[in-house]
Structure 1
Amino acid sequence: MSARISRPTGAPLWLQIEATLSQEILTRQLTGRLPNEQSLAERFAVNRHTVRQAIQSLQHKGLVCIERGRGTFVREEMIAYRLGKSSRFSHSLSEQHLVSEVDIQSCHFEPADERVAQLLALDAGAPVLRVESLDLADERVVSVCTQYFPLPRFDGFIDIYRDSKSTSEAFARVGIRQFSRVLSRISARLPRPEVAAALQQGRQQPVLYVESVYADADGVRIEYGITRFGGDSVQIEVTPDTL
Protein backbone atom coordinates (compact mmCIF):
# COMPACT_ATOMS: atom_id res chain seq x y z
CA MET A 1 0.00 0.00 0.00
CA SER A 2 1.49 3.35 -1.04
CA ALA A 3 1.59 6.40 1.21
CA ARG A 4 1.58 9.48 -0.99
CA ILE A 5 3.09 12.60 0.49
CA SER A 6 2.08 16.10 -0.36
CA ARG A 7 4.65 18.64 -1.47
CA PRO A 8 4.43 22.14 0.00
CA THR A 9 5.82 24.87 -2.24
CA GLY A 10 9.59 24.63 -2.41
CA ALA A 11 9.89 21.37 -0.43
CA PRO A 12 11.38 18.54 -2.53
CA LEU A 13 9.73 15.13 -2.22
CA TRP A 14 13.03 13.46 -1.33
CA LEU A 15 13.42 15.81 1.65
CA GLN A 16 9.96 14.85 2.97
CA ILE A 17 10.80 11.17 2.58
CA GLU A 18 14.11 11.71 4.36
CA ALA A 19 12.29 13.47 7.23
CA THR A 20 9.76 10.63 7.54
CA LEU A 21 12.40 7.91 7.56
CA SER A 22 14.60 9.91 9.94
CA GLN A 23 11.74 10.19 12.43
CA GLU A 24 11.04 6.45 12.17
CA ILE A 25 14.71 5.68 12.81
CA LEU A 26 14.95 8.03 15.79
CA THR A 27 11.82 6.59 17.38
CA ARG A 28 13.00 3.00 16.75
CA GLN A 29 10.07 2.25 14.42
CA LEU A 30 12.62 1.44 11.74
CA THR A 31 15.59 -0.75 12.70
CA GLY A 32 17.99 -3.15 11.08
CA ARG A 33 17.92 -3.34 7.29
CA LEU A 34 15.86 -0.77 5.39
CA PRO A 35 13.41 -1.89 2.70
CA ASN A 36 15.00 -1.78 -0.75
CA GLU A 37 14.62 1.22 -3.06
CA GLN A 38 11.77 -0.35 -5.03
CA SER A 39 9.76 -1.06 -1.88
CA LEU A 40 10.27 2.48 -0.59
CA ALA A 41 9.40 3.94 -4.00
CA GLU A 42 6.12 2.00 -3.94
CA ARG A 43 5.42 3.05 -0.37
CA PHE A 44 5.81 6.76 -1.11
CA ALA A 45 4.53 6.58 -4.71
CA VAL A 46 7.69 8.14 -6.15
CA ASN A 47 10.49 6.97 -8.43
CA ARG A 48 13.62 5.20 -7.20
CA HIS A 49 15.83 8.21 -7.90
CA THR A 50 13.83 10.25 -5.38
CA VAL A 51 14.20 7.50 -2.79
CA ARG A 52 17.92 7.28 -3.50
CA GLN A 53 18.33 11.00 -2.76
CA ALA A 54 16.58 10.54 0.60
CA ILE A 55 18.76 7.54 1.51
CA GLN A 56 21.93 9.43 0.58
CA SER A 57 20.87 12.27 2.88
CA LEU A 58 20.29 9.80 5.74
CA GLN A 59 23.75 8.37 5.12
CA HIS A 60 25.29 11.87 5.16
CA LYS A 61 23.62 12.50 8.54
CA GLY A 62 25.05 9.27 9.88
CA LEU A 63 21.69 7.60 10.49
CA VAL A 64 22.26 4.75 8.04
CA CYS A 65 25.17 2.99 6.40
CA ILE A 66 25.11 1.54 2.88
CA GLU A 67 26.89 -1.80 2.50
CA ARG A 68 27.60 -2.77 -1.09
CA GLY A 69 25.85 -5.99 -2.01
CA ARG A 70 23.94 -6.19 1.30
CA GLY A 71 21.69 -3.12 1.49
CA THR A 72 21.16 -0.12 3.75
CA PHE A 73 21.20 -0.52 7.52
CA VAL A 74 20.20 1.71 10.43
CA ARG A 75 23.16 2.75 12.57
CA GLU A 76 21.72 1.63 15.87
CA GLU A 77 24.53 3.11 17.96
CA MET A 78 24.01 6.71 16.77
CA ILE A 79 22.05 9.04 19.06
CA ALA A 80 20.63 12.28 17.65
CA TYR A 81 20.75 15.42 19.79
CA ARG A 82 18.21 17.91 18.49
CA LEU A 83 19.63 21.29 19.40
CA GLY A 84 16.43 23.31 19.77
CA LYS A 85 15.72 26.60 21.50
CA SER A 86 14.01 25.02 24.49
CA SER A 87 15.13 21.39 24.15
CA ARG A 88 17.84 19.58 26.06
CA PHE A 89 19.65 16.29 25.52
CA SER A 90 17.21 14.45 27.80
CA HIS A 91 14.35 15.51 25.50
CA SER A 92 16.12 13.98 22.50
CA LEU A 93 16.71 10.73 24.39
CA SER A 94 13.05 10.57 25.38
CA GLU A 95 11.98 11.04 21.74
CA GLN A 96 14.20 8.10 20.82
CA HIS A 97 12.69 5.94 23.59
CA LEU A 98 15.97 5.83 25.50
CA VAL A 99 16.03 5.93 29.29
CA SER A 100 17.97 9.02 30.31
CA GLU A 101 19.62 9.66 33.64
CA VAL A 102 22.12 12.11 35.08
CA ASP A 103 24.87 10.76 37.32
CA ILE A 104 26.33 13.59 39.41
CA GLN A 105 30.01 13.02 40.10
CA SER A 106 30.86 16.10 42.16
CA CYS A 107 29.74 19.61 43.06
CA HIS A 108 31.20 22.62 44.81
CA PHE A 109 30.97 26.38 45.14
CA GLU A 110 33.57 28.58 43.49
CA PRO A 111 34.08 32.14 42.25
CA ALA A 112 33.21 32.53 38.58
CA ASP A 113 36.21 33.11 36.35
CA GLU A 114 36.03 35.79 33.68
CA ARG A 115 34.56 33.50 30.99
CA VAL A 116 31.90 31.91 33.20
CA ALA A 117 30.95 35.30 34.62
CA GLN A 118 30.57 36.80 31.15
CA LEU A 119 28.38 33.96 29.87
CA LEU A 120 26.15 34.09 32.96
CA ALA A 121 26.06 37.91 32.95
CA LEU A 122 27.68 38.06 36.40
CA ASP A 123 30.50 40.06 37.92
CA ALA A 124 33.85 38.30 37.80
CA GLY A 125 34.35 36.41 41.03
CA ALA A 126 30.62 36.08 41.74
CA PRO A 127 29.78 32.75 43.44
CA VAL A 128 28.51 29.89 41.30
CA LEU A 129 27.62 26.25 41.82
CA ARG A 130 29.74 23.96 39.65
CA VAL A 131 28.43 20.46 38.92
CA GLU A 132 30.31 17.65 37.19
CA SER A 133 28.10 14.85 35.88
CA LEU A 134 27.62 12.09 33.33
CA ASP A 135 24.66 11.75 30.97
CA LEU A 136 23.49 8.14 30.58
CA ALA A 137 21.29 6.62 27.88
CA ASP A 138 20.02 3.16 28.73
CA GLU A 139 22.77 2.99 31.38
CA ARG A 140 25.51 3.84 28.84
CA VAL A 141 27.62 6.98 29.35
CA VAL A 142 27.16 9.23 26.32
CA SER A 143 28.45 12.56 27.60
CA VAL A 144 30.55 14.22 30.27
CA CYS A 145 29.14 17.50 31.57
CA THR A 146 30.23 20.57 33.50
CA GLN A 147 27.49 23.00 34.57
CA TYR A 148 27.59 26.37 36.30
CA PHE A 149 24.57 27.83 38.14
CA PRO A 150 24.53 31.34 39.67
CA LEU A 151 24.28 31.81 43.43
CA PRO A 152 22.46 32.56 45.65
CA ARG A 153 19.56 31.65 43.34
CA PHE A 154 20.62 28.01 43.21
CA ASP A 155 21.42 27.51 46.87
CA GLY A 156 20.10 24.05 47.79
CA PHE A 157 19.68 23.11 44.13
CA ILE A 158 22.15 20.25 44.25
CA ASP A 159 19.97 18.13 46.56
CA ILE A 160 17.05 18.50 44.18
CA TYR A 161 19.27 17.84 41.18
CA ARG A 162 20.61 14.60 42.70
CA ASP A 163 17.03 13.38 43.10
CA SER A 164 16.07 14.23 39.49
CA LYS A 165 16.52 12.42 36.20
CA SER A 166 17.49 15.56 34.26
CA THR A 167 18.32 19.25 34.58
CA SER A 168 14.90 20.13 33.13
CA GLU A 169 13.16 18.13 35.86
CA ALA A 170 15.30 19.79 38.53
CA PHE A 171 14.53 23.23 37.09
CA ALA A 172 10.80 22.48 37.18
CA ARG A 173 11.04 21.42 40.82
CA VAL A 174 12.49 24.82 41.76
CA GLY A 175 9.82 26.69 39.80
CA ILE A 176 11.63 27.21 36.49
CA ARG A 177 9.18 25.66 34.04
CA GLN A 178 10.08 27.77 31.03
CA PHE A 179 13.61 28.34 29.81
CA SER A 180 15.37 28.82 26.50
CA ARG A 181 18.78 28.36 24.96
CA VAL A 182 20.37 31.75 24.29
CA LEU A 183 23.75 30.53 23.06
CA SER A 184 25.32 27.36 21.67
CA ARG A 185 28.82 26.72 20.40
CA ILE A 186 29.87 23.40 18.86
CA SER A 187 33.44 22.35 18.19
CA ALA A 188 35.57 19.21 17.99
CA ARG A 189 38.35 18.74 20.53
CA LEU A 190 40.62 16.03 21.84
CA PRO A 191 39.34 14.87 25.24
CA ARG A 192 41.14 15.04 28.55
CA PRO A 193 42.19 11.59 29.79
CA GLU A 194 39.36 11.37 32.35
CA VAL A 195 36.78 12.33 29.70
CA ALA A 196 38.07 9.71 27.25
CA ALA A 197 37.96 7.11 30.03
CA ALA A 198 34.36 7.98 30.97
CA LEU A 199 33.29 7.76 27.31
CA GLN A 200 35.31 4.57 26.84
CA GLN A 201 37.14 5.92 23.82
CA GLY A 202 40.72 6.64 22.78
CA ARG A 203 42.43 9.86 23.82
CA GLN A 204 43.20 10.67 20.17
CA GLN A 205 39.55 10.39 19.14
CA PRO A 206 37.85 13.82 19.09
CA VAL A 207 34.70 14.58 21.06
CA LEU A 208 31.90 17.00 20.21
CA TYR A 209 32.34 19.93 22.59
CA VAL A 210 29.02 21.75 23.06
CA GLU A 211 28.74 24.93 25.12
CA SER A 212 25.23 26.15 25.98
CA VAL A 213 23.75 29.03 27.92
CA TYR A 214 20.14 28.98 29.14
CA ALA A 215 17.90 31.76 30.44
CA ASP A 216 14.57 31.73 32.27
CA ALA A 217 11.31 33.20 30.96
CA ASP A 218 12.44 36.68 32.03
CA GLY A 219 15.70 36.41 30.15
CA VAL A 220 17.82 35.97 33.29
CA ARG A 221 20.68 33.55 32.66
CA ILE A 222 20.45 30.44 34.80
CA GLU A 223 23.03 27.99 33.43
CA TYR A 224 26.24 27.73 31.47
CA GLY A 225 27.02 24.16 30.49
CA ILE A 226 29.79 22.30 28.69
CA THR A 227 28.92 18.85 27.32
CA ARG A 228 31.43 16.50 25.73
CA PHE A 229 29.87 13.84 23.49
CA GLY A 230 31.54 10.81 21.94
CA GLY A 231 31.91 11.77 18.29
CA ASP A 232 30.99 8.32 17.01
CA SER A 233 27.87 7.88 19.14
CA VAL A 234 26.08 11.25 19.05
CA GLN A 235 25.23 13.56 16.19
CA ILE A 236 23.94 17.13 16.52
CA GLU A 237 20.76 18.15 14.68
CA VAL A 238 19.95 21.87 14.55
CA THR A 239 16.17 22.31 14.52
CA PRO A 240 14.35 25.22 12.79
CA ASP A 241 13.57 27.10 16.02
CA THR A 242 17.30 27.79 16.46
CA LEU A 243 17.65 29.54 13.12
Structure 2
Amino acid sequence: PVLAFRTVTYCTENEETPIGKGTRFTENLAALGFMTENRILRKQTIGALPRVAQRLTIQEGDAVHWIETLRMVEQRPMCLISHFVPAEKFPDLFERFESGSLHALLGATYGCKLRRTESLVTAVLPQGDDAKTLGMPQNRPVLRVKSVNVDDRDGTPVEYAITRFRADRIQLRINP
Protein backbone atom coordinates (compact mmCIF):
# COMPACT_ATOMS: atom_id res chain seq x y z
CA PRO A 1 0.00 0.00 0.00
CA VAL A 2 1.13 3.54 -0.81
CA LEU A 3 0.28 6.47 1.45
CA ALA A 4 -0.74 9.59 -0.47
CA PHE A 5 -0.09 13.00 1.04
CA ARG A 6 -0.43 16.67 0.27
CA THR A 7 2.10 18.24 2.62
CA VAL A 8 5.46 17.15 3.92
CA THR A 9 7.22 18.97 6.72
CA TYR A 10 10.96 18.74 7.14
CA CYS A 11 12.12 19.17 10.74
CA THR A 12 15.71 20.09 11.45
CA GLU A 13 16.65 20.48 15.09
CA ASN A 14 13.47 22.19 16.40
CA GLU A 15 12.51 23.96 13.17
CA GLU A 16 9.67 22.78 10.97
CA THR A 17 9.38 23.80 7.36
CA PRO A 18 6.25 22.84 5.41
CA ILE A 19 6.93 21.44 1.96
CA GLY A 20 4.10 21.31 -0.54
CA LYS A 21 3.69 20.93 -4.28
CA GLY A 22 5.78 23.98 -5.14
CA THR A 23 8.03 24.64 -2.15
CA ARG A 24 11.67 23.66 -2.00
CA PHE A 25 13.74 22.28 0.84
CA THR A 26 16.90 24.41 0.56
CA GLU A 27 15.06 27.69 0.02
CA ASN A 28 12.88 27.07 3.08
CA LEU A 29 15.85 26.31 5.33
CA ALA A 30 17.73 29.35 4.05
CA ALA A 31 14.67 31.51 4.79
CA LEU A 32 14.81 30.26 8.40
CA GLY A 33 18.42 31.44 8.64
CA PHE A 34 20.18 28.10 8.13
CA MET A 35 23.35 28.13 6.04
CA THR A 36 22.79 25.76 3.11
CA GLU A 37 25.04 24.55 0.32
CA ASN A 38 24.43 22.41 -2.75
CA ARG A 39 27.44 20.50 -4.07
CA ILE A 40 27.35 18.87 -7.49
CA LEU A 41 29.06 15.49 -7.23
CA ARG A 42 28.35 14.06 -10.69
CA LYS A 43 26.93 15.04 -14.07
CA GLN A 44 26.51 12.27 -16.60
CA THR A 45 24.22 11.38 -19.50
CA ILE A 46 23.01 7.78 -19.43
CA GLY A 47 20.33 5.60 -20.97
CA ALA A 48 17.14 5.62 -18.90
CA LEU A 49 16.72 2.51 -16.78
CA PRO A 50 13.20 1.01 -16.72
CA ARG A 51 11.99 2.76 -13.54
CA VAL A 52 13.44 6.12 -14.56
CA ALA A 53 11.86 5.83 -18.01
CA GLN A 54 8.50 4.89 -16.48
CA ARG A 55 8.50 7.88 -14.09
CA LEU A 56 9.53 10.30 -16.86
CA THR A 57 7.15 8.69 -19.40
CA ILE A 58 9.98 8.16 -21.89
CA GLN A 59 11.33 5.03 -23.55
CA GLU A 60 13.78 2.78 -21.75
CA GLY A 61 17.27 3.67 -22.99
CA ASP A 62 16.36 7.26 -23.93
CA ALA A 63 19.08 9.71 -22.88
CA VAL A 64 18.65 11.26 -19.43
CA HIS A 65 20.89 13.65 -17.57
CA TRP A 66 21.86 12.20 -14.19
CA ILE A 67 22.99 14.80 -11.69
CA GLU A 68 24.07 13.78 -8.21
CA THR A 69 24.01 16.55 -5.57
CA LEU A 70 24.86 16.73 -1.89
CA ARG A 71 22.85 19.13 0.27
CA MET A 72 24.61 20.56 3.30
CA VAL A 73 22.90 22.37 6.18
CA GLU A 74 25.14 24.28 8.60
CA GLN A 75 28.14 22.58 6.93
CA ARG A 76 26.78 19.11 7.76
CA PRO A 77 25.63 16.60 5.12
CA MET A 78 21.82 16.37 5.09
CA CYS A 79 20.90 14.50 1.91
CA LEU A 80 22.03 13.13 -1.42
CA ILE A 81 19.85 13.61 -4.47
CA SER A 82 19.96 11.75 -7.77
CA HIS A 83 18.16 13.95 -10.32
CA PHE A 84 17.11 12.42 -13.65
CA VAL A 85 15.83 14.74 -16.41
CA PRO A 86 15.19 13.99 -20.10
CA ALA A 87 18.27 15.04 -22.08
CA GLU A 88 16.15 15.83 -25.15
CA LYS A 89 14.28 18.61 -23.28
CA PHE A 90 17.41 20.10 -21.71
CA PRO A 91 20.33 19.40 -24.07
CA ASP A 92 22.59 22.14 -22.63
CA LEU A 93 21.75 21.55 -18.96
CA PHE A 94 25.28 20.52 -17.94
CA GLU A 95 26.77 23.74 -19.29
CA ARG A 96 24.15 25.84 -17.50
CA PHE A 97 23.98 24.06 -14.13
CA GLU A 98 27.12 24.86 -12.15
CA SER A 99 25.71 25.44 -8.65
CA GLY A 100 22.60 26.38 -6.68
CA SER A 101 19.15 24.94 -7.16
CA LEU A 102 18.40 22.78 -10.18
CA HIS A 103 14.71 23.66 -9.91
CA ALA A 104 15.47 27.39 -9.86
CA LEU A 105 17.64 26.97 -12.97
CA LEU A 106 14.92 25.03 -14.80
CA GLY A 107 12.46 27.82 -14.01
CA ALA A 108 14.72 30.75 -14.88
CA THR A 109 16.35 29.26 -17.97
CA TYR A 110 13.65 27.08 -19.46
CA GLY A 111 10.47 28.62 -18.00
CA CYS A 112 9.72 25.29 -16.37
CA LYS A 113 7.99 25.69 -13.00
CA LEU A 114 8.00 22.33 -11.29
CA ARG A 115 5.13 20.81 -9.35
CA ARG A 116 5.58 17.63 -7.32
CA THR A 117 3.01 14.96 -8.12
CA GLU A 118 4.41 12.01 -6.22
CA SER A 119 6.70 11.25 -3.28
CA LEU A 120 7.30 7.73 -2.02
CA VAL A 121 9.09 7.53 1.36
CA THR A 122 10.96 4.43 2.55
CA ALA A 123 13.49 3.77 5.33
CA VAL A 124 16.42 1.79 3.92
CA LEU A 125 20.07 1.16 4.65
CA PRO A 126 22.44 3.33 2.60
CA GLN A 127 23.73 1.79 -0.63
CA GLY A 128 27.04 2.23 -2.44
CA ASP A 129 28.98 5.27 -1.21
CA ASP A 130 25.92 7.01 0.29
CA ALA A 131 26.89 6.41 3.94
CA LYS A 132 30.43 7.68 3.39
CA THR A 133 29.23 10.75 1.48
CA LEU A 134 26.64 11.52 4.16
CA GLY A 135 29.22 10.99 6.93
CA MET A 136 27.24 8.28 8.69
CA PRO A 137 27.55 4.58 9.61
CA GLN A 138 26.57 2.06 6.93
CA ASN A 139 24.25 0.29 9.41
CA ARG A 140 22.04 3.35 10.11
CA PRO A 141 18.98 3.99 7.93
CA VAL A 142 18.37 6.79 5.49
CA LEU A 143 14.95 8.05 4.50
CA ARG A 144 14.68 7.56 0.75
CA VAL A 145 12.17 9.76 -1.05
CA LYS A 146 11.42 9.00 -4.70
CA SER A 147 9.63 11.95 -6.28
CA VAL A 148 8.26 13.01 -9.65
CA ASN A 149 8.12 16.68 -10.61
CA VAL A 150 6.14 17.83 -13.63
CA ASP A 151 6.08 21.02 -15.67
CA ASP A 152 3.19 23.00 -14.21
CA ARG A 153 2.27 24.29 -17.69
CA ASP A 154 1.30 20.93 -19.19
CA GLY A 155 1.87 18.21 -16.58
CA THR A 156 4.79 16.64 -18.47
CA PRO A 157 7.23 14.81 -16.17
CA VAL A 158 10.47 16.80 -16.05
CA GLU A 159 12.38 15.29 -13.13
CA TYR A 160 12.52 12.00 -11.29
CA ALA A 161 14.55 12.36 -8.10
CA ILE A 162 15.76 9.90 -5.51
CA THR A 163 16.71 11.68 -2.29
CA ARG A 164 18.45 9.96 0.58
CA PHE A 165 18.13 11.91 3.86
CA ARG A 166 20.14 11.18 6.96
CA ALA A 167 17.35 9.78 9.12
CA ASP A 168 19.02 11.08 12.28
CA ARG A 169 18.82 14.68 11.03
CA ILE A 170 15.39 14.85 9.44
CA GLN A 171 11.77 14.12 10.15
CA LEU A 172 9.08 13.96 7.51
CA ARG A 173 5.57 14.96 8.51
CA ILE A 174 2.96 13.56 6.15
CA ASN A 175 -0.45 15.20 6.24
CA PRO A 176 -3.29 13.50 4.36
Q: TM-score range by the shorter chain?
A: 0.7 to 0.9
Count of paired positions = 167
Within the alignment, does 1:211 sit opposite 2:146 as a pair? yes
- Equivalents in 1 of 2:61, 2:15: separation in Å? 37
Among 73, 77, 85, the residue aligned to 1:149: 85
- RMSD value, Cα: 2.2
- Equivalents in 1 of 2:10, 2:28: separation in Å? 16
- Equivalents in 2 of 1:123, 1:177: separation in Å? 22
Deviation at 1:178, TM superposition (A): 2.2
Contact conserved, 1:145 with 1:226, CA < 8 A, in 2?
A: yes
Deviation at 1:192, TM superposition (A): 2.0
Within the alignment, does 1:97 sit opposite 2:30 as a pair? no
Uncovered stretches (5+) of structure 2, i.e. residues with no partner: 1-8
Identity of aligned residues (%): 28
- Equivalents in 2 of 1:201, 1:178: separation in Å? 34
Distance 1:153 1:190, change over 3 A: same
Distance 1:121 1:79, change over 3 A: farther
Q: Alignment partner of 1:91: what SS?
A: helix
- Equivalents in 1 of 2:14, 2:164: separation in Å? 15
Distance 1:62 1:109, change over 3 A: closer
TM-score (norm 1): 0.63
TM-score (norm 2): 0.85
Deviation at 1:95, TM superposition (A): 3.5
Uncovered stretches (5+) of structure 1, i.e. residues with no partner: 1-60, 64-75
- One-letter amino acid of the structure 1 residue matched with residue 41 of structure 2: Q
Deviation at 1:205, TM superposition (A): 0.5
Q: Rg bigger for which structure? A: 1
Distance 1:80 1:158, change over 3 A: farther
Would you tell me which structure has more helix in proportion to its own residues?
1
Deviates more, 1:167-176 or 1:100-109: 167-176
Among 166, 172, 196, the residue aligned to 2:107: 172
Would you tell me which structure has more strand in proportion to its own residues?
2
